[in-house]
């Protein structure tokens, strides 16, 4: 059957409603996604053009601000800084040299006792009896000697008249010699008994501080003049004035010490300054008076000792102190704040700012602290500008805004 085209608008209107509805439904299904896509693309295009037209360029990073200062020039020496410990020049264990009952104690634990002061008394009565016996033997020996001498004199007189034989004279002479020997033995026993009696009174051998008493009153004391191990320890006493300060030097420090002291034209001072744990200044001065003759093979150090006056008895054996000892003569060096020195593995560096305001690190050799500043032995010039503040913002090779300041030197501590 042939399709005939409609000739007028009315022909279109004559088309059945079912056909029109079916066609328009399929068109809607296809047109809706297309319209959404077009609308979305148009919005994105417009937004992107708006952003491009109103975009702002990112701000440049600010230049770090740092503070720089020139190092302080000063003549400083190489010194040994370390830790020492005080020790007593004299230290004695008071032990009983005679046995008996402890009857008296004449001190309080920890007292300062003077030389010769009475400390302990051991019951002296047995030794007084022993002394009396020895003296009696001496008197007996004297009487026998007198009798032997008188008999010898009579025999010698009779011999002149031929009434005494030579044998009798020899016998009388031997009796006199034996009596003298007996007298000598008796006198020795008296001295021995007197010594035992003296040892019942234990006195301080020197002025110092006594420790805690070991036995109590009434204790039975074992004593012997021959075997110290078999005796009773009564107390210990240490001297306080003067007092030693012991410390160790490394092998390198000891070599510097030896080489500088070989120069007799300008010998170094032997003063060893010390500071206690709660002291900031090194005001205590002692004299170096001993360096050991061998180095310790295990530690590579050598023992040294200084002597300090201690008239107020403030220093005590066993106490620690920081020490300083000059190992070389003063030489030019530069000083910078300790915070300006940065560790770099086994080395140290400081950050400097050049004429072009670019940060440049410099490797340096450091020394100890002087007046609150770190000694720089080498690697830095007096004209260098060292970053002393804001160092955390400085990076090698970057530009900085540098503000010049002056290094503050603390009051001298030595």
Sketch the domain layout of the chain as residue ranges.
Answer: 67-76+331-404, 79-88+240-326, 91-238
pLDDT at residue 24 greater than cutoff 70: no
Q: Which helix (H) or strand (E) holds 240?
A: none
pLDDT tens-digit map of 172-192: 778 778 888 888 888 899 999
Query: Is CATH 1.20.120.530 the right assignment for the domain spanning 67-76+331-404?
Result: no
Query: Ranked by mean pLDDT, which of 174-188, 219-233, 289-303, 393-407 comes out on top?
Result: 289-303
> Burial level of 278, CB count in 10 A (0-12/13-18/19+)?
exposed
CATH class of 79-88+240-326: mainly beta
End-to-end CA distance of the chain: 128
For 119-143, what is each residue's pLDDT tens digit? 999 999 999 999 999 999 988 888 8
Percent of the chain with pLDDT over 70: 78
Say if CB 147 and CB 176 are below 8 A apart. no
Read off the DSSP letter of residue 358: B
| pLDDT surpasses 90 at 245 | yes
**Strands 341-344 and 347-353, how do they pair?**
antiparallel
Among residues 317, 338, 333, which one has the least CA distance to residue 379?
333
pLDDT above 90 as % of the chain: 32
Nearest 5°: CA angle at 234, between 202 and 92? 75
Task: Decide the pairing of beta strands 386-389 and 373-378.
Answer: unpaired
Res 406 pLDDT > 50: yes
Q: Which residues contact 249 (CB under 8 A, 6 or more apart)?
A: 80, 82, 257, 291, 301, 302, 304
Between 377 and 269, whose confidence is greater? 377
- CATH numeric code, 91-238: 2.40.50.100
What pLDDT, on the 0 to 100 scale, is given for residue 29?
43
Least reliable range by pLDDT among 8-17, 229-238, 296-305, 390-399: 8-17
Strands 65-69 and 401-404: what pairing?
parallel
DSSP-based helix, strand, coil % in the chain, nearest 5:
30, 30, 35
DSSP H/E element including 130: helix 125-160
């Amino acid at each position: 059957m042939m399709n005939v085209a409609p000739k007028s608008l009315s022909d279109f209107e004559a088309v059945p409603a079912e056909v029109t509805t079916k066609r328009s439904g399929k068109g809607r299904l296809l047109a809706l996604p297309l319209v959404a896509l077009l609308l979305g693309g148009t919005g994105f295009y417009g937004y992107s053009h708006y952003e491009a037209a109103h975009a702002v360029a990112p701000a440049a990073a600010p230049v770090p601000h740092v503070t720089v200062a020139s190092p302080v020039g000063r003549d400083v020496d190489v010194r040994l800084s370390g830790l020492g410990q005080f020790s007593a020049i004299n230290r004695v264990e008071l032990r009983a040299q005679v046995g008996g009952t402890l009857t008296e104690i004449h001190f309080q634990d920890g007292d300062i006792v003077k030389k010769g002061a009475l400390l302990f008394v051991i019951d002296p009565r047995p030794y007084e009896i022993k002394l009396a016996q020895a003296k009696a033997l001496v008197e007996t020996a004297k009487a026998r000697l007198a009798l032997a001498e008188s008999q010898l004199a009579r025999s010698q007189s009779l011999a002149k008249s031929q009434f005494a034989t030579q044998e009798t004279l020899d016998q009388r002479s031997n009796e006199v010699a034996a009596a003298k020997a007996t007298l000598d033995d008796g006198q020795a026993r008296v001295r021995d008994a007197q010594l035992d009696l003296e040892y019942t009174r234990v006195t301080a051998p020197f002025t110092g501080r006594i420790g805690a008493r070991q036995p109590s009153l009434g204790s039975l004391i074992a004593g012997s003049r021959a075997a110290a191990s078999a005796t009773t320890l009564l107390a210990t006493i240490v001297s306080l004035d003067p007092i030693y300060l012991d410390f160790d030097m490394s092998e390198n420090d000891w070599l510097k010490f030896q080489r500088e002291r070989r120069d007799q034209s300008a010998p170094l001072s032997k003063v060893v300054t010390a500071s206690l744990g709660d002291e900031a200044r090194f005001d205590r001065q002692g004299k170096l008076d001993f360096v050991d003759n061998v180095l310790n093979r295990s530690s590579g150090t050598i023992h040294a000792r200084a002597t300090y006056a201690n008239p107020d008895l403030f220093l005590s054996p066993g106490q620690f102190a920081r020490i300083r000892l000059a190992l070389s003569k003063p030489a030019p060096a530069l000083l910078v704040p300790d915070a300006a020195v940065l560790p770099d593995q086994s080395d140290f560096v400081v950050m400097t700012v050049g004429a072009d305001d670019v940060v440049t690190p410099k490797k340096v050799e450091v020394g100890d602290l002087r007046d609150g500043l770190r000694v720089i032995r080498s690697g830095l010039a007096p004209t260098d500008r060292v970053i002393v503040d804001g160092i955390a913002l400085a990076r090698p090779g970057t530009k900085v805004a540098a503000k010049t300041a002056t290094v503050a030197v603390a009051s001298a501590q030595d």
